[in-house]
């Protein structure tokens, strides 16, 4: 491990904890993603986390608030961290190959398939409340 890796681990620690403290299971290896996804039943919300400002100021807060407000919640909450857990992120993206890679992004998984995807383009340059409302609507539709 070099000084850069140590530095980045310290920087991203609170970014990881923000989701983990809100019930998300962090998948940090390709093996963990594969094992989780191949046995997954029901619904899951997957956040592809990122160090960027739109993840910190928009995506993570919108996800937290949408989950607090949603009448229907997913059975599972997972996160992978783009740019940090590269193999895990690449493996997760293999589960929705029709979607171009983007981070941050939010995927809803239902009954073994991608049910809905919110890419960075629908996060960046939007208000946090708009993203929260969008996700809340999707949660209520997909997780009924």
Active site residues: 52, 54
Give the pair of three-digit tokens for residue 25.
Answer: 């299971």
Alpha helices in 40-127 (DSSP H): 53-54, 60-69, 86-94
- Torsions phi, psi for 134 (to 5 deg): -60, -50
Picking from 4, 2, 142, 27, the residue whose alpha carbon sits closest to that of residue 92 is: 27
CB 68 within 8 A of CB 75: no
- Name the 3-class secondary structure at 77: strand
Pairing of strands 43-49, 105-110: antiparallel
Is the link from the previous residue into 104 a cis peptide, with omega within 30 of 0?
yes
């Amino acid at each position: 491990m070099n000084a850069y890796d140590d530095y980045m681990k310290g920087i991203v620690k609170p970014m990881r904890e923000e989701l983990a403290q809100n019930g998300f299971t962090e998948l940090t290896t390709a093996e963990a993603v594969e094992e989780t996804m191949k046995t997954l039943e029901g619904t899951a919300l997957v956040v592809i986390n990122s160090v960027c400002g739109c993840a910190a100021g928009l995506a993570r807060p919108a996800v937290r608030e949408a989950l607090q407000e949603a009448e229907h919640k997913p059975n599972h909450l997972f996160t992978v961290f783009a740019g940090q857990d590269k193999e895990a992120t690449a493996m997760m993206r293999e589960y929705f190959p029709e979607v171009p890679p983007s981070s941050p992004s939010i995927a809803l998984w239902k009954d073994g398939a991608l049910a809905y995807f919110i890419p960075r383009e629908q996060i960046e340059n939007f208000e946090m409340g708009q993203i929260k409302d969008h996700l809340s609507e999707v949660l209520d539709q997909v997780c009924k």
